[in-house]
Amino acid sequence: MTFPTLLLASKSPRRHEIFEKSGFDFKVVAIDADEDFPQELKGPEICEYLSLHKSQHYQDNLDQNLLITADTIVVVGDRVLNKPESEQEAFDMLQLLSGRTHFVYTGCTIRSSVKTHTFHDATEVAFYALSDEEIKAYIQNCRPFDKAGSYGIQDWMGLIGVKSIKGCFYNVMGFPSGKFYRELQNFI
């Protein structure tokens, strides 16, 4: 199937990689939007809200292009884990995930000049118990400060820390490519 040029509004190198591997014709565009959300939102509502919020901040003419925005969050219990701002925050997040199951939600918005569609995907991830030394070494060697929940499933933590995954691997990496492909087909 042939799609219009996609304008990917993301700084994430992992999303760029997923789009390249998927074979999409895309260009990266910049959007400046805060990532604040109403506190009453829960789980997938948060990532859908943020994805749509980012999309609404793109003001250039779309012409025949489609704008794609996304936001990924990690949720353990009732706690939302975004990107850590310090080594201590990364350590605390990974310690919280250690030996537990959590959910990764990615909200995506597809926008044309005439319509908008927002959806999400969810993946359940279980971690093995991690020692403090393993967590510290991971933070020092992998610098997970640009990753929701302080880890990348595609790196060392995914190799040694993930016990099981139920759902889309690429969703945990930052973009649910399989679901997106189907939603895009229905959008056009």
Active site residues: 71
Ordered alpha helix ranges (H), the chain: 13-22, 43-56, 87-97, 132-142, 156-160, 169-173, 177-187
The CA–CA distances, whole Å, from 166 to 12, 92, 104, 107, 150 equal 23, 24, 10, 17, 19
Phi, psi angle pair for 22, to nearest 5°? -75, -10
Other C-beta atoms lying within 10 Å of the C-beta of residue 64: 8
d(CA 176, CA 109): 12
The single residue listed with the structure tokens 């403090």 is 132
